[in-house]
Amino acid sequence: MVRVKDIEAVTKNYVKKSLMTFLEGGKYTKDKKSLSLKWIISVIKSSGIRREKLKEIFGELKNYGDTRLFKLVLEKCKKDNLF
């Protein structure tokens, strides 16, 4: 029997891992694209993640990595009405 993962869980994990990489100060993706605010916002928008799941991620990562970058992404998400 083939198990199918919950699409919401997969989406949340994808966005969370991407945000963690950004907050850790990662410079490039595997294909050498630079990790910028524009990059992480496009990851979030293109993922189709639901607002409440995005809030959960930000709650889980509030003390993770570079707090300056965290605040920058959080404010941009609020400005772009992603919450």
Query: Given this model, what pLDDT does residue 62 score?
Result: 94
Predicted confidence (pLDDT) per residue in 14-68, tens digit: 999 999 999 988 776 666 667 789 999 999 999 999 999 999 999 999 999 999 9
pTM: predicted TM-score of the whole model, two decimal places: 0.84
For the chain, the helix, strand and coil percentages under 3-state DSSP, each to the nearest 5: 60, 0, 35
Query: Given this model, what pLDDT does residue 33 score?
Result: 63
Query: Given this model, what pLDDT does residue 1 score?
Result: 60
Query: Given this model, what pLDDT does residue 25 score?
Result: 83
Which are the contacts of 25, defined by CB distance < 8 A and separation ≥ 6?
65, 66, 69
Query: Given this model, what pLDDT does residue 81 score?
Result: 95
